Copies of this chain bind each other. A is one copy, B any other.
């Protein structure tokens, strides 16, 4: 089965290993509070601090945002839309929450597989 990689699996590694994990890791950036039935924005950035290549043979292909077992949305990334240099790709997800959220982002690198963010909890109130 495809393994799900995450930064913490590599956090005790060498600086090279940590940079490898850093640049592959999606990071969720959002408020920790949301209003029920109102549009809510979640940004996902690929790379904690390190930029990932965006070359024809090595690039990110998609980002999925999950709320526990439910897929919230998916952004399909076109490589040519992010230049030819390493980059911290950002994608924005807009949706309308009903209940409190436990968000995870999954992102797929065509060379190094499927990477998972840390989970982020969002309280949804009236």
Interface residues of A (CB under 8 A from B): 1-4, 37, 39, 41, 55-57, 61, 66, 68-83, 87, 90-92, 94-96, 98, 104, 106, 108, 110, 112-114, 116, 119
Contact = CB atoms under 8 A, between A and B. Distances in A.
Contacts of A76: 73-76
Contacts of A90: 39, 94
Contacts of A79: 110
B81 A72 contact: yes
How many monomers of this protein are in the complex? 4
B74 A2 contact: no
Nearest to A87: B96
B73 A1 contact: no
